[in-house]
Structure formats: C-alpha cells, structure tokens
Amino acid sequence: MKSLILIPSYLWKNTFRRWFENPTSPLSKILVTSILSLLALLVLVFFAESKYQLQKKLSETNSLRIYLADRILPSEATTQLIKSRSEEEMWHREFPTARLSYFRQTFQFVQWKDNRAVPVIAYSSKYPSLSIHDAGEAPNIWLLSTSPQHCSPIEEITSDRTTLYAKPIAMDDDMQLALGTSSAIAIPEEMAIPFFTAGFYTHIIASFGDIDTATRFEAATSAYYAAERRSPRKFNSLGIIAEVEKLNQLQTQIRIGIVLTCGLISALIIGAIAWLEFRQESYLLALLRSFGTPRFILLIHGLCENAVLTGLGIFIAFKSWPLIYNILIGSVNGLQLRAAEFLTLPQLDMAIIIAASAVGVLLAMIPVAVGLRKPAGLILQ
C-alpha cells in the first residue's frame, strides 16, 4: 500500500526538519546512548581481559591440576576397592583428554633408616612411571624419595612382620603434594590387597590442558561424590580455578546488571526526550490519525527514529572504546592488561550492549504509546 510509504515519508521529512531546527534533542539521545554504551563496554572488556589473563597464568604455570584424596574406612574397604576401579574407568571415559593418575595409600607405615616412618602406597598400571620393570621380572618395590641420590641402590625397609628391599626413585611433585611427605614406599597393588582391608586412601591426580575441562572435572567430581555421600579432600595448587569461576559468576551478574541498568537509564532519558518531542508533535500526529492513519504506523516511526539515534550512539561507542581503554590502562600503573589492538570484543558482550539499548528504546516508547491513546478530536482545533 502506497499509504505505508507516503505517511512514513512525510513523517521522516518532518523528523529531519525538527532535527535541523532543534539539534539538541537528537544529539542528546546519541550522547546518552554512546556514553552508556562506552561505560558498559569498558566494564565488559575489562572483565573479559582479566579472565584471559588469569587463564593465561594458569596455562603458563602449568597449574591446571586437581588433587583428590578419598578416605575409605575398613567397614567399606572391600566394596570400595572394587568400586574405585570402576570409578577410574569412568573418569578416563568422561575425560579422555585429561592426564589422570591413580594410586592407593594404605593406613600402614613402615620403618626406614633410623626408624623413620614412611607411608605405603600401592600402584597399578595406571601409574605408568612406577609400573615400568624389566621383562620377565616381578614389579618393583620402590622407595620414593625427594633425594634419591642420597640413597643406596637398594634400601632396607622393615615393618612389624617383614623386611622389604626397595629401589630408590625420585618422587614426583604431584605425589609429594598428594602425600604431604618427602618419602614413601610404593608396592604393586597385588601385594597391597591384604593391607587394604584395614582401610586406604584413593588418590587421583588430574592434569588438564585447558581451564574448561578442569572446571568440568571439578564440577563432575563434586556432583559424583555428593551423590555417593563421600567427601574427598580436594585441592588445586594455586586456587586460580576458583578465582576464574568467581569471575565467571561475577561476569554473568555484571552482564545482567548492565542490560537492566543501561536499559533503564536510557529508557528514562530517551523516554523523557521522546515525550517532550511527542507533545510538540502531538497536533501533527492527531491530524494524521484524523486521516485514518493507524496508530501503529506512528508508533513504529517513533521507534525507528529512536532506534536510528541510539544505533548511532552505539556505533560511536564501538568505534571509540579502544582509545578510551588504552588511555585508562596506560594511566594506571601495574595493570598488565593487553592494549586494545590485541583484544577482540566478545560477540556476547556486543549483543548485550545492543540488547540494553533496545530495551531502553522500547521502554522509552511507553509514554508515547500512552499519549497516542488520547482522542484526536480532543487535540485538533
């Protein structure tokens, strides 16, 4: 219908005349939107960059590790021993890209060198570094030590019932962290089965290549052990994963807050300006309504007018944020954030800015929609 072109074209002609005669009104709308969008962008970019820096630190220090130590009492030792093996299979299946190491620690201690009590751990083929042995020979009994160079080629280990002879081998950092000691005896799991009936610890050392898998593992193990009503000791070396998780939650809250706050502020300011303009134009709009122009055409024109101006404001914000960002990070000493040239604005954050402005524009039309309900005959002379 040609009227759908004629009426809007007249309205736009009127709009441009109004903007030309009184530029403060459209400029105000552009300015409000660009300032709000800029502030929101800077906050969102700062969060995204902080998250990136934390994740980078995690990768660089190779600290994407999670340690689990589950204590099994004698009353449940037999069932849990069988179950723990299937759990190992399960974690391997669920997280094939992770490097998972398992060993069990008995509640036994043995004597070594000057009656030093050292814990006894049992290893299986799932701890590759301990499983190596010459072909045809039995699996080794190891003396794990942080200083194996100070040990004899074969060390004598005594317990209440027997004497063992162990080969010294360096204790890796993970195991040292898991056990909390500088030395331990590692025996093949088949030898340790009689000791398991008195209870044991199941240790899992999980290493990851990326934060997302680590976070998934953290969540999966928490859920699994909660369902099993077990509370294993769990820790990671630096606690950065928890910080990243906190940052994720805060980022989500900030994003929601930005949509609501920026949307509300722009709705109030743009709505106030739109209402003033509507009062100026109410006579013309009533006249067009007296010709039979549907209200929705007038409302859509108002919406498009505000959308064009806020779109311009967002465009200015998107183009100017790198400059403002670089000035800000340059002026604060100690911030080791990347310059804006190296940043890519997340698409979700761009969508959030646009969504916030759209919310503002829609809410701003409420007073205009209410005003259009006034009968044209009460306005026209």
Partner 1 sequence: MQVSVNNLSYRYPHAAAPVFDGFDFNADAGITLIKGFSGCGKSTLLRIIASLIPVPKGTVVTTSPHGFGSSTFLREEVGFVFQQLNLLPLASVRRNILLALELANKPSALADEWIQALGLEKLQHKKPTKLSGGQQQRAAIARALAKQPSILLLDEPTSGLDHLNTQIITQALTNKLPKSTVCLIATHDNRLDPIADEILDFNSFLPVEEHLQEMV
List contacts with partner 1 (CB under 8 A). Answer: 1-3, 6-7, 10, 13-14, 17, 284, 287, 289-294, 375-378, 380-381
| CB nearer to partner 1: pick between 169 and 284 | 284
In the complex, what is the shortest distance from the CB of residue 21 to partner 1, in angstroms, rounded to a whole number? 12
Which lies closer to partner 1 via its Cβ, residue 93 or residue 373?
A: 373
Instruction: CB nearer to partner 1: give 66 or 288.
Output: 288
The nearer residue to partner 1, 305 or 349, going by C-beta atoms, is 305
Smallest separation, CB 27 to partner 1 (Å): 22
**Nearest alpha-carbon partner for 192 in 202, 183, 182:** 202
What ranges in 291-365 are assigned the alpha helix state H? Answer: 295-331, 347-364
Return the number of the residue (151 or 297) whose C-beta is nearest partner 1. 297
CB of 4 to partner 1, least distance (A): 9
- Contacts for 257-261: CB closer than 8 Å, 24+ residues apart: 258/40, 258/43, 258/44, 258/352, 258/353, 258/356, 259/352, 259/355, 259/356, 259/359, 260/356, 260/359
| Per-position DSSP letters for 39-99, written without gaps between them | HHHHHHHHHHHHHHHHHHHHHHTT--EEEEEEEE-GGGHHHHHHHHHHHHHHHHHH-TTSE
Contact 194, 81 (CB under 8 A): no
Looking at the Cβ atoms of 340 and 376, the one nearer to partner 1 is 376
The β-bridge partners of 157 are 112, 164
User: Minimal distance in Å, beta carbon 28 to partner 1?
Assistant: 23
When the beta carbons of 239 and 294 are compared against partner 1, the nearer one is 294
Nearer to partner 1, 58 or 288 (CB): 288
Q: Which two tokens mark 378?
A: 């009460």
Least Å distance between CB 270 and partner 1?
25
- Alpha carbon of residue 202 to chain centroid: 29
Nearest Cα residue to 101 out of 84, 88, 82: 88
| Start-to-end C-alpha separation, the chain | 29
- 3-state helix, strand, coil split of the chain in percent (to 5) is 60, 15, 20
Residue whose C-alpha is closest to residue 109's, from 97, 119, 122, 99: 119
Closest CB 381 distance from partner 1, rounded Å? 4
CB of 263 to partner 1, least distance (A): 32
**Rounded to the nearest whole angstrom, what is the least distance from the CB of residue 286 to partner 1 in the complex?**
8
